[in-house]
Structure 1
């Protein structure tokens, strides 16, 4: 079982390093180790950027050909939605690697500050956090992501593509998409691990406030750590993961809506009767992908909401000390300064200022999916009407064209 925050997150960071979107690692002993930049960080970054660009170029270049091979027709709507979906994925992975490199100092400060807060709890207050529950959920979600992408979806893609002549080319695109989505899952897991660890620290600080509330030194240290966590949530986490959340939500919105359109089209076209075997695999692929997207949004929203509520709850525990416990001393003035700052300080994890990340994100995403779905259905219907009108026009032209005399 993990005995420290470093042990808890180390394996996830190692996987993120190997996948090319994280450039920090933990070095040293458990008691005094620090998070540092990986070796040859610039070389690794440019190598991964080149690989991502090459994979993205290949994926986008195969869009039209793959759609024609699968559906035996050139539908501008299907090609367009597939292209936009893949383009968002490529941009998201490119952003993750680019942002991870240029914001690695912010990430180092976040991770090392979390380490410092944990060690302060151990050294000053003799309190060691139990990571058993977090580690258990972390293993469950990690194992699920590995099984989901490496085994389940991989097998579905192989079965679905096996009978096509372009199997290898189509399967390479599938592998690139699976790699990209696994990177997204792992980013969310790392972010949620940090958030849940901060929740544990806040619970310990609340216990300290309840037991040592008469001691100025202990109160000052507690208030200082609470303020430090609020800054980490509002600035560091928002700067590191905020842009990712914006892009990921955009991807989930568009991808979910386009998959629902494809799902409805595939179901209605078969009249709920005989469905080809490959269509069964395609429908299963759509449903599983949608379920995993929903899981990611809910996981991020719940962990962010829990952290925000815990920060607010801990901040409320400190405010009443200003009424009757503090005297006109230097230590008291410092505590009052932190309390005043805490009163007006924003404590939410924000997505680049566009919206706060909490439980309301779930409702926002699902309502937006419905909006996107309606818009895409209108475009699909427009394409169908234009195609039918063109067919009628061609038939009419053939009938009215005079034959050879």
Structure 2
């Protein structure tokens, strides 16, 4: 499936992502059942905003690491910049959620306020995991990911007996297992002392295109939040689709991460067989799920969520073009066009939210689900045009345009 990459590590990451996706999806299903449609919609709107903020505090470190993983000192500096930014933003998030909870006298928001702390921990785990992924060291990544997802999932089983505590259980377990996972990841990367003085501006400039691309990919997570303002009733029906779609998005993202590191190393774009593999996998996984949504949605979530079956089915179908767009996005970044990849992401994300705003008013939850499909198609078409031009011209951009130094660096990681 990946020429030039080891199948074993690639299969390990895919299997790990599948298991983690299943556990995370199961956790969200459990939350939906114990919380009820109204509280789950509140959770979904907040969690979507936190997903966007995760990309914001990343600072571009994840994409920069995948494309420059051989540069030990530069990668470590990117980690430090992202971590410092994350601590500052997380503090503000905790204060903001607490303020809204106080204003609305919301017990759920009070309980979810600690997720601001989890925000920085989760992003720190993900940024450092990308270095290990790029180096083919998948065991600590697998252990960290499964520890986070399985730990929270098992803890949430307690909410069956005490459903009124589901929000506190989720917040505190996310922090605890996130911290444990960070220790697993950090112990696999030898500590390297680096100085930030004098290099922050240059490093941030090199990370900026990846930062923009990362945020643009996550901005569509604000769909529930926007829908809650314009059509609160529709947001309640649409919330399960948006949140269950989040773990399902991880599958093409994992494949794209492997491809990005491989293509960046080989200084090439995506091959047809790699793109075809992603498309076939997406169709085989997502199409059956969408076709049977009317059966498994009421069964898993309960009869209160019957109205969510159609939006979930449509949303899942939209993950097929999203998968193709993810691979093309990695190809564009790997061939030295991170800024173009970011532009396509912003076009897809903004168009998604614009469609949600327009279609959500008239068609409710179904319209919001269609909006997500259309946004993925918009991004995919923009990237496909760029990829076609590259293939016709025979262009094979040097990844050095993303900031790779011609001088060799001693890798200490």
Q: TM-score, normalised by structure 1?
A: 0.27
Q: Which has the larger radius of gyration?
A: 1
> In proportion to residue count, which structure has more helix?
2
Q: TM-score, normalised by structure 2?
A: 0.27
* Bigger RCO of structures 1 and 2 (CA < 8 A, at least 6 apart): 2
